[in-house]
């Protein structure tokens, strides 16, 4: 059983290429990729805490730790939060990275992954008298992937919460509310002649892009279908600093939403 993930260990683009892969869809968190190297690497922070991690001694410009699983090998490094400035690293708690990976094909030193990695770092540090592993650290493309991944996770989580509110309002006929990233959102759905009329109430100072994410989260309702309701809708009157949007959910989507998202019994 895998332990609760508190410090994710992410593969770099270089690492994924070493393993013969590439970036998966943004919905897939890189530290959750189902590959033996990535799965095994998640244990490194726990091993460090227990003082049981094994260091790649020959590469001494930075601290790299060994990952061994089957014939696979890899090297993991923890960035220093005090010395790293990109906010996205802190937002994603992305301090641990797998910088390189490969196969241990034989027991001979010349064919050993860590011997090959040492030779690579010696070439990178040529002229300095030292090895250099800086090229194994995450690059701009890794940070951009992390940023896009975090943004996608926000959209996915908002979509799930909004759908749950819609489903429970369809079932109960009452309004359901939740706080989404600091904003209060209320949803009310009422059936009429087979259609379901939905009203979403949000704070007026909500970011327009974030409001668009919320409105796009309702299955079967196109962005252009939403109407502004400054005077209220379905008996819902906007309070101070609130806005109301309304639309119709087609019948074929109502049961799908309830079946997939209608498991709550209490207002979130």
Domains in the chain: boundaries: 9-138, 150-261
Q: Is the pLDDT of residue 177 over 80?
A: yes
Question: What pLDDT shows up at residue 3?
Answer: 42
Neighbouring residues of 252: CB distance < 8 A, sequence distance ≥ 6: 220
Average pLDDT of the chain to the nearest whole number:
89
Question: What pLDDT shows up at residue 207?
Answer: 85
pTM exceeds 0.85, yes or no:
no
pLDDT band of residue 264 (cuts 50, 70, 90) is low
Q: Is the pLDDT of residue 9 over 60?
A: yes
Beta bridge partners of 96: 9, 78
pLDDT, tens only, 37-96: 999 999 999 999 999 999 999 999 999 999 999 999 999 999 999 888 889 999 999 999
Cα 58 off chain centre by = 34
Token code pair at residue 49: 């805490």
Residue-wise DSSP of 111-165:
G-HHHHHHHHHHHHTTTTTS---GGGS--HHHHHHHHHHHHHHHHHHHHHHHHHH
- For range 139-163, the mean pLDDT: 94
């Amino acid at each position: 059983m895998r332990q609760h993930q508190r410090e994710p260990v992410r593969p770099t683009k270089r690492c994924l290429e070493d393993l013969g892969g590439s970036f998966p869809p943004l919905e897939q968190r890189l530290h959750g990729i189902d590959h033996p190297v990535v799965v095994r690497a998640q244990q490194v922070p726990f091993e460090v805490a227990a003082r049981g991690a094994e260091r790649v001694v020959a590469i001494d410009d930075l601290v790299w730790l060994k990952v061994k699983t089957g014939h696979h090998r890899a090297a993991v490094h923890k960035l220093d939060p005090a010395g790293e400035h990109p906010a996205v690293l802190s937002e994603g708690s992305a301090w641990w990275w797998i910088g390189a990976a490969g196969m241990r094909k034989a027991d001979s030193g010349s064919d050993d992954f860590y011997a090959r990695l040492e030779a690579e770092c010696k070439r990178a540090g040529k002229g300095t008298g030292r090895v250099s592993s800086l090229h194994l650290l995450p690059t701009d493309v890794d940070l951009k992937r992390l940023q896009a991944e975090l943004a996608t996770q926000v959209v996915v989580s908002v979509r799930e919460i909004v759908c749950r509110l819609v489903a429970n309002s369809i079932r109960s006929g009452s309004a359901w509310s939740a706080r989404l990233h600091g904003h209060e959102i209320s949803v009310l759905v009422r059936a009429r002649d087979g259609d379901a009329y939905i009203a979403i109430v949000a704070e007026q100072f909500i970011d327009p892009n974030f409001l668009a994410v919320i409105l796009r989260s309702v299955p079967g309702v196109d962005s252009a279908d939403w109407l502004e309701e400054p005077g209220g809708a379905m008996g819902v009157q906007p309070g101070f600093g609130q806005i109301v949007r309304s639309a119709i959910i087609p019948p074929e989507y109502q049961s799908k939403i309830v079946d997939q998202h209608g498991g709550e019994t209490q207002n979130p």
